[in-house]
Amino acid sequence: MSTKKSDVFLSKTENKGILGEFIESNITRRLIPKGLSWFGCMGGLSLLAFMIQLVTGIFLMFYFVPGEDEAIASIQRVSHSVPYGWIIQRIHAVGPHIMIGLVFSHMLRILFKGIYRHPRELHWVSGACLLILTLLMYYTGMLLPFRNTNEHGNMPLTYLYAIHVAGIPLAMSLFMGMHFFMIRKTGIYEPL
Ligand code: HEM
CATH code where residue 44 lies = 1.20.810.10
Position 46 scores a pLDDT of 98
| Per-residue pLDDT at 30 exceeds 60 | yes
> In this structure, are 109 and 170 located in the same domain?
yes
Contact 116, 123 (CB under 8 A): yes
Position 117 scores a pLDDT of 96
Contact 91, 52 (CB under 8 A): yes
CA dihedral sign of residues 153, 157, 163, 165: positive
Position 130 scores a pLDDT of 98
Residue 113 lies in a domain: yes
Q: How confident is the model at residue 26 (pLDDT cuts 50, 70, 90)?
A: confident
Residue 192 lies in a domain: no
Number of domains in the chain: 2
Position 189 scores a pLDDT of 87
At 190, phi and psi to the nearest 5?
-115, 100
> In this structure, are 148 and 75 located in the same domain?
yes
- Ligand 1 — pocket residues by CB below 6 A? 43-44, 46-47, 50, 103, 106-107, 110, 115-116, 120, 123-124, 127-128, 130-131, 134, 179, 183, 188-189
Domain encompassing residue 164 = 38-186
> In this structure, are 58 and 114 located in the same domain?
yes
> In this structure, are 24 and 42 located in the same domain?
no
Residue 159 lies in a domain: yes
DSSP at 147: -
> In this structure, are 22 and 111 located in the same domain?
no
Residue 53 lies in a domain: yes
> In this structure, are 129 and 152 located in the same domain?
yes
pLDDT tens for residues 69-102? 889 999 999 999 999 999 999 999 999 999 999 9
Residue 191 lies in a domain: no
| Per-residue pLDDT at 192 exceeds 60 | no
Q: pLDDT: is 14 or 29 the higher one?
A: 29
> In this structure, are 68 and 148 located in the same domain?
yes
Q: Distance (Å, rounded) from C-alpha 124 to C-alpha 121?
A: 5
pLDDT tens for residues 4-23? 555 555 555 567 788 999 88
Position 8 scores a pLDDT of 53
Residue 112 lies in a domain: yes
Residue 103 lies in a domain: yes
pLDDT tens for residues 131-182? 999 999 999 999 998 766 666 666 788 999 999 999 999 999 999 999 999 9
> In this structure, are 89 and 20 located in the same domain?
no
Position 115 scores a pLDDT of 95
Mutational test site, ligand 1, from 179, 185, 189, 192, max ligand atoms within 8 Å of CB: 179
Kind and range of the H or E run holding 104: helix 85-113
> In this structure, are 4 and 90 located in the same domain?
no
Nearest atom, ligand 1, residue 44 CA: 10
Position 156 scores a pLDDT of 85
> In this structure, are 24 and 45 located in the same domain?
no
> In this structure, are 16 and 44 located in the same domain?
no
> In this structure, are 81 and 16 located in the same domain?
no
| Centroid of ligand 1 to alpha carbon of 93 (angstroms) | 23
